Amino acid sequence: MSSAPHRIPHLRAAGVSLVVDATGDAPSVLHWGRDLGPLSDDELEALRLTAGTARLHNAPDVARRFPLLPGERHDWSGVPGLSGHRAGGATTPRPVLRHVDVVPAGAPGGSDGGGSIEFDFDDPVSGLAIRQRVALEPSGLVRLSSTITSTAAEGEAPYDLAGLVEQLPLPTRATEILDFTGKWSREREPQRTPVRDGLHAREVRRGKPGVDSPYLMAVGTAGFGARHGEVWAMHVAWSGDQRWFVERLPEGAGAASAVLGGGELVRPGELRLAAGETYSTPDVLFAWSGDGLDGVADRFHERVRADRRRPGAQPLVLNTWEAVYFDHQLPRLIDLVDRAASIGVERIVLDDGWFRGRRDDRAGLGDWQIDEGVWPEGLDPFVDRVRSHGMQFGLWFEPEMINLDSELARAHPDWVLGPEAGLGTSSRHQYVLDIAHPDAFGYLLEAVSDLVERYAIDFLKWDHNRDLMEATRRTAGGAPGVHAQTLALYALLDALRSRFPALEIESCASGGGRADLGVLARTDRVWTSDCNDPIERQRIQRWSELLLPPELLGSHVGAERSHTTHRSTDLSFRLATALFASAGIEWNITRCTDEELAALRRWGGLYKEIRSLVATGRRVHAELPDEETLLHGSVAADGSRALYVWARLGTSAPGQSGRVRMPGLDASARYRVTVRDELGETALHQGEGPEWFDAARAGGIELPGSVLVVAGVPLPTLDPAQAVVFDLVRIDG
């Protein structure tokens, strides 16, 4: 730590510069984006002097700058960084900068390894001490967070926090917004809109990010795509209610055009800080890329992979849900396990239906004890059979939920999260358990721990199948409960990981409804969607991997006829789709033919061969004019190998693809290209493929990198719902 005065800290990492003006009471960002290179003190001062705007008619009599903690005190009429009040007074915050720490200290030219800056403010008007942290991580991501502490005297009115959000300025050339919406079984649906004057705001009031989560809010140069354009993006790393926004005022934001910001959405009365009490925001992460959306993904993937307890590839899993649903019969499940072992499955997950009273979705949630009527000998015979094949064992839970038809609800009705005036409507016949209640928390921790210990469970599928509506805590005077519920979830996951360091946990919430970097700091996998239809999955996975690396995205091969869409697809296409993810099977394979089992066995072998490449390589996406075709792949960090899939989702007007570039390769190298035939026959549309493709399919062909990545190659015209997997190995020498 250094307490020496740093007038203009300049942090550099991974091709990104962050320059902050700390010369006055309101620190501001002078530059966030492309690396400026080493700058002298004089050059940094020149950057500061050019940051002020012209003084316009009927505008403040000083040059406008956009501070890191903006408010009306700084003539900012947009979303304030901090808002709230004490009873009897509604004065706007007036923070005064008291101290700056820069870590590392930073040479005059800036530090090329990143670093962090901490700003300490006092606000005697609001009675608050504020600490704001700004860090440039080695990945090039900027991380912002803040903490406020009530400095009022004992007995004074508490400070009612209305909002504390993080914001960074955007340049004029950032003119187009990309964020996401969705619904059950169609998560991560992209939507674009131009940056306009006013507020583009997304608020999450579901108690979790939700299947319509904004997920990642990106603002870029006009028409930015997978591989081109400048992009500035943001993610709120929080698993409760959220705020996301882009705001542009006619007068701009100082020398910037607009701002990008977000944080936790705070309900009225939810956070009331008495003397000495503290609130800390979740991390808000900002990414800049000069190489389009793939460049944004590179930065997030690097950060997430560096933070994993067990980095690398995931085992091949079979989940029992779409195989047996609630019909738990031991002989049938034993047969399923034996078949799974014969095709190379490494982990079996027993899904919903194993616990007391759970014969359908109307009862049982909360009673996390084994149903002895269905399992008279406990789960022991089933788990023993799994272990006899050398496989791992996983179990489904939904700990945050409760059915009113349960022993737990009858014994502790006050543990149900809801208003004192009476519960609202159920969803999927269930309500929410107030896990911030100490006794409810303790019950869950011990109930889950008992089973993990008894069966040496390797993996928990942690589900969350409803939104938190009217989430008020009856045992806390009707206080809003989402913030407390979210912190309790984190504490519960942390406690389990502490007790069982080898335990892996998957975040599932009606599919991909809780896929954020707050929960991912405590879990090991995300269930990407309840939809295993590969046509839908190709799109869902493409956008999910913008934030999360593919090895964390659970993707299962389902039956020919999809459980969710009732659409039928060829096995080869289902296999190709699950290959570029954390792969698994969710299918009653006891009904498979010998040919289908053989295909699954070959595919499992291919997955084990290439999963390390998928788990460590860069994800790349070709830019194609036709949305019905996709070319995406994983390229080894050293360029020595790459795996691509060419997929057609539906019909399209063009009869030929033309030359398609394979992004991410070394243009100066040569590659041997083969088509992996383990997935089975692919249906070409009305004829044969290009000559080079036929050679690749027949045994392989050597091609220059310049042809593959610069000129591009014509790809075969596929029928809808078909895919081809290309394996490229660099030829050295």
- 3-class DSSP assignment, residue 136: strand
Q: Are strands 479-480 and 472-473 parallel, antiparallel or unpaired?
A: antiparallel
Counted residue by residue, the chain has a size of 733
Q: Which of 458, 530, 533, 727 is catalytic?
A: 530
Is 530 among the catalytic positions? yes
- 3-class DSSP assignment, residue 200: strand
Listed residue (7, 19, 6, 13) closest to 47, CA to CA: 19
Q: Which of 463, 467, 516, 727 is catalytic?
A: 463
Q: Is the dihedral of CA 595, 600, 605, 607 positive or negative?
A: positive
The residues that bridge with 401 in the sheet, in sequence order, are 432
Residue owning tokens 């799109």: 539
CA–CA separation, 243 and 202 (whole Å): 6
Give me 27's structure tokens. Answer: 């620190």
Reported in sequence order, the residue ranges of 126-239 that DSSP labels E, i.e. its strands, are 128-136, 142-150, 159-164, 166-170, 176-183, 186-194, 198-204, 217-220, 231-236
Within 10 A of 653 (CB to CB), how many other CB atoms are there?
6
Give me 11's structure tokens. Answer: 């942090």
CB contact set of 474 (below 8 Å; sequence gap of 6+): 414, 416, 417, 418, 419, 420, 434
Element (H, E) at 339: helix 330-342
Listed residue (137, 164, 134) closest to 27, CA to CA: 134
DSSP state, 58?
T
Percent composition of the chain: helix, strand, coil (DSSP 3-state, to 5): 25, 30, 45
Within 10 A of 195 (CB to CB), how many other CB atoms are there?
20
Among all residues, which ones are annotated catalytic?
Answer: 463, 530
